[in-house]
Amino acid sequence: MTEATTPADETPVLEVRDLEVRFTSGRSTVYAVNDVSFAMRAGETLALVGESGSGKSTIAKAVVGLVGPEAGEVLLRGEAQAGDRTARDRATCGDVQMVFQNPVGSLNPFMTVEANVAEPLRNRGVAKEERRMRVRELLTMVGLDADTLGPRKPGEISGGQAQRVSIARALASEPAVLIADEAVSALDVSVQATVLNVLRRVVDEQDVAMLFISHDLAVVRNVSDTVAVLHMGQLCEIGPTEDVLAAPAHHYTAALRAAVPEPGVPLGDPGMTDADPPSPRIRPAGCSFRDRCLAATDLCGAERPPLTIAGPGRGVACHHPLGGAARTAEPVDVAIEGVLA
């Protein structure tokens, strides 16, 4: 992956390898991310899904450089990103940009929409006239009218519009990776659709790789090519979104899917026990889902299931995968092999 001759579309833009993140305060340690690997190419969207505490936002922070990994590495265009690099350095170089959940709160309330979008350009030393043109372009790209909305302050526009301004601002740095952390969760359904459409168009047209973090499987199905399902910091399952959601190989994916209410669709079997997830303060032995899993055996408590091939481009970390997923004796050594196959 290090040779510069590799064609751009083959090299993963972002690679996360064996990532481990812990938070320690006093004597207590939270094992937030445990040995997670995945890779993304330009023009692709990978969704991280899971409940609260699954580690999805922590992975995003590790990618941006806001938290340092305990082990493993984050590679950007094949280059390792040192864990001690400050967030400020990373932000200035602009390779990884983030869109947050609260659209109004993530913009500067005292600056106009135009100025908010222009700020990263100004930081990079883009000349005034070019900056003006670029801001117009960016606002148009996210479907906003630069003339009417440009001069307004974030407080004077709607939540959906503010989120589109955040996207325009993130794109101003021409990032290789766009991270959307619950970017549509705070929006109304009618507005959410507009923002999702914008995000998809941006990934297609700008050839950016999007890491889409969400708890909403229906949204994920609509926006992502690949989905990675996390439970308590462990990667349960990864693969093409449509395949994974149509026929989950991991019991946790199936349970998550069964819990999503849809208008006019009766709820299916919950497919899990009533147990709460285990404490993140205990270093996980075995599968983190075993207490909630209906198919768990002694093996699941004793041994952590390795990620194995579960179909074309699919990996599952389960001793007893669903649907008789094709198991091979050879564990997939990095999830990327499964994703890129």
Residue ranges binding other proteins (CB under 8 A): 51-52, 158-161, 188-194, 196-197, 200, 215-219, 221-222, 242, 245, 255-257, 259-267, 270, 272, 274, 276
Minimal distance, residue 8 CB to other proteins, in Å: 25
Minimal distance, residue 277 CB to other proteins, in Å: 9
115 CB-side CA count, 13 A: 10
The CA distances from residue 80 to 56, 68, 341, in Å, are 20, 13, 23
Burial letters for 121-155: b for 16+ Cβ neighbours within 10 Å, e otherwise? beeeebeeeebbebbeebbebbbbebeebbeebbe
Minimal distance, residue 53 CB to other proteins, in Å: 9
Q: CB–CB of 218/245 below 8 Å?
A: no
Minimal distance, residue 21 CB to other proteins, in Å: 21
Quickly count: other Cβ atoms within 10 Å of residue 286's Cβ: 18
Which residue lies nearer to other proteins by CB, 61 or 221?
221
State whether residue 197 is helix, strand or coil.
helix
- Long-range pairs, 21-27, Cβ under 8 A, ≥24: 21/55, 21/58, 21/59, 21/62, 21/67, 21/69, 21/70, 21/233, 22/70, 23/67
Tokens of 44: 């692709």
Minimal distance, residue 35 CB to other proteins, in Å: 23
Minimal distance, residue 84 CB to other proteins, in Å: 34
Which residue lies nearer to other proteins by CB, 86 or 279?
279
Which residue lies nearer to other proteins by CB, 62 or 255?
255
Which residue lies nearer to other proteins by CB, 124 or 222?
222
Tokens of 92: 């200035």
Minimal distance, residue 203 CB to other proteins, in Å: 12
Which residue lies nearer to other proteins by CB, 20 or 207?
207
Which residue lies nearer to other proteins by CB, 7 or 263?
263
C-alpha 239/C-alpha 326 separation (Å) is 14
Which residue lies nearer to other proteins by CB, 71 or 258?
258
Which residue lies nearer to other proteins by CB, 83 or 277?
277
> What is the separation of C-alpha 132 from the centre of its chain, rounded to a whole number of angstroms?
31
Minimal distance, residue 252 CB to other proteins, in Å: 9
- CA 95, 21, 87, 216: dihedral to nearest 10 degrees? 60
C-alpha 297/C-alpha 319 separation (Å) is 9
C-alpha 106/C-alpha 2 separation (Å) is 35
Minimal distance, residue 194 CB to other proteins, in Å: 4
| Residue partners of 337: CB distance under 8 A and separation at least 6 | none
DSSP H helical ranges for 234-307 = 241-246, 251-258, 298-302
Which residue lies nearer to other proteins by CB, 53 or 313?
53
Q: CB–CB of 316/326 below 8 Å?
A: no
